[in-house]
Structure 1
Amino acid sequence: MTGLASLISYPALLLAGLSPITANVTNTVALVASGIGSFAKSGRVLVVDDGGRSLAREGLIALAGGAVGAAILLLSPDKIFVFVVPYLVALASIALLAQPRLRARVGEAVSHRGWWAAGIFVVSIYGGYFGAGAGVMFVALAMVLTDLPLWRATLLKSALLGIANAVAAVGFLIFADVHVGAAVAMGAGCLLGGWAGPPVVARLPATPLRIGIGLGGLGLAVWLAIGG
């Protein structure tokens, strides 16, 4: 519903015995369904009124970033992946927890489309590289660089991250060791969660939800750092 699914599904795949890389690519393939479910349920909100932004342009940026991230994962040594991921998740979680102060400091300067486009590209690279925690990063990005409310930020996250995941998933299905059975099972849950998520998030108090997402991300970062 809010980007926390991958914070549970990735560790679950590790506990089921999959290697970190196999768990990651399987998780990314499954998460495509979350974006599909979310956009099918509430995507018209973004299409009708995207706050002055072009959803099609942002989607192309996310697609390019997801492709770059997937290529980096497929071409880089496994040990680099294991080392950098906890720090990336922790950084996004801290940014989300500190969002009010960060937003106050950066003010309107970062609302320029160039900053937002660059942020989408960078986070999409991360999403293509590592599925778990990417939702937290997208929500943090939108909350700091735009004036969107949390529920709209989570909806936009689902759409853009779904695109980044989709292009990465194609590459993983062709070139990586995806556990198809696990991807299908988790994909079914992600589809239902993506469908039900936006209306629920729109009714939840924003501040406790933002804090909960941030703490969940920090929990995953610590778990990964100590060898989860």
Structure 2
Amino acid sequence: MDLSDAALLIAAGLAAGTVNAVAGGGSLITFPALIATGLPPVAANVSNSVSVFPGYVASVAGSRVDLPRGRELWSLLPTAVVGPIAGCVLLLATPARAFELVVPFLVLGATSVLAFQGPLRRLVGHPQRLGARRRTVTAHTMVAVGTVYGGYFGAALGVMLVAGLALVLDATLARVSAVKNLLSAVVGLTTLVVFALFGPVNWAAVAVVAPATLFGGYAGARLARRLPQVVWKTVIVAFGTAIGFYLLWRALT
């Protein structure tokens, strides 16, 4: 790795940490940057998943005052551990081409859920009208789907988690995003352990990107708390749509 590669990865890590804290999808900055330094796709994806973990931790620190209190949040954490393990196994066991073709539709689907949150809430029921059991099952289902995806690829993990949680949590987007940051950190820690043991991690690249995501994640979380809800939702939907079509373009060209 030469000096220009290191500079590219530092800039990408700072930007990705900030974007992950605000909207999710920062891996779409670091992943192409890792590819640009010469890493093959699977090694870049695995190294990227390990690199962004410090940024997730910093995002939790920056948004901790918005985390809801109570057992309901903590009960989601076991699901957030099992999900990414399944996603990691799926990534290491399936062809790279399948990975490229499936991911864009997952991202666009998650973005659509958030964009049409109002109509979907009328269809599935507002969280205030859901029974406790149904709300718990739905929340775990949303977290399971999002975290399996997070272990499989990870880019736009935040968009997927916000989209799913916003349907079942009767809370502001700031509070939903704080939950998203905590779950993302759990996913990040789980993927770090799995890929460190079994994946082709490029530790030199991780050593450059990871500290940068740490600073970016904390700054992004502080910025996110100051954004009006309508602006926040617009940013997430716009970014998720851009990510989805970018991935689709990459898969088809």
**TM-based fold match above 0.5:** yes
2:224 aligned residue:
201
Question: Structure 1 residue 22: deviation in Å?
Answer: 1.8
Q: Deviations over 1:63-93 (max 9, x none)?
A: 1111111111111222211111111111111
Instruction: Write the distance in 1 (CA, Å) between the matches of 2:195 and 2:111.
Output: 26
Instruction: Write the distance in 2 (CA, Å) between the matches of 1:14 and 1:41.
Output: 30
Instruction: Single out whichever of 120-129 and 145-154 deviates more from structure 2.
Output: 145-154
1:221 aligned residue:
244
Alignment of 1:46-57 (within 5 A): 46=67, 49-50=68-69, 52-57=70-75
Q: Secondary structure at the match of 2:205?
A: helix
Identity %: 33
179, 195, 204: which one aligns with 2:202: 179
1:141 aligned residue:
164
User: So what's the TM-score if we normalise by structure 2?
Assistant: 0.81
Instruction: Write the distance in 2 (CA, Å) between the matches of 1:90 and 1:14.
Output: 23
Shift of the 211–45 alpha-carbon distance from structure 1 to 2, 3 Å rule, reads closer
Q: Aligned pair 1:35/2:53, yes or no? A: no
Structure 1: 5+ residue stretches without partners:
none
Q: Deviations over 1:150-184 (max 9, x none)?
A: 11111111111111121112111222212222223
Question: Structure 1 residue 32: deviation in Å?
Answer: 1.1
157, 161, 164: which one aligns with 2:184: 161
Instruction: Write the distance in 2 (CA, Å) between the matches of 1:190 and 1:197.
Output: 10
Q: Aligned pair 1:93/2:111, yes or no? A: yes
Structure 2: 5+ residue stretches without partners:
1-20
Give, as a single letter, the amino acid of the residue that structure 1 aligns with 2:113. A
1:58 aligned residue:
76
Q: Aligned pair 1:22/2:55, yes or no? A: no
How many positions carry a matched residue from both structures? 225
Instruction: Single out whichever of 194-203 and 67-76 deviates more from structure 2.
Output: 194-203
Q: Aligned pair 1:6/2:27, yes or no? A: yes
Instruction: Write the distance in 1 (CA, Å) between the matches of 2:150 and 2:34.
Output: 17
Instruction: Write the distance in 2 (CA, Å) between the matches of 1:101 and 1:30.
Output: 37
1:107 aligned residue:
125
Conserved in 2, the CA contact under 8 Å of 1:7 and 1:216?
no
- Give the greater-gyration-radius structure (CA): 2
Conserved in 1, the CA contact under 8 Å of 2:66 and 2:174?
no
Conserved in 2, the CA contact under 8 Å of 1:32 and 1:162?
yes
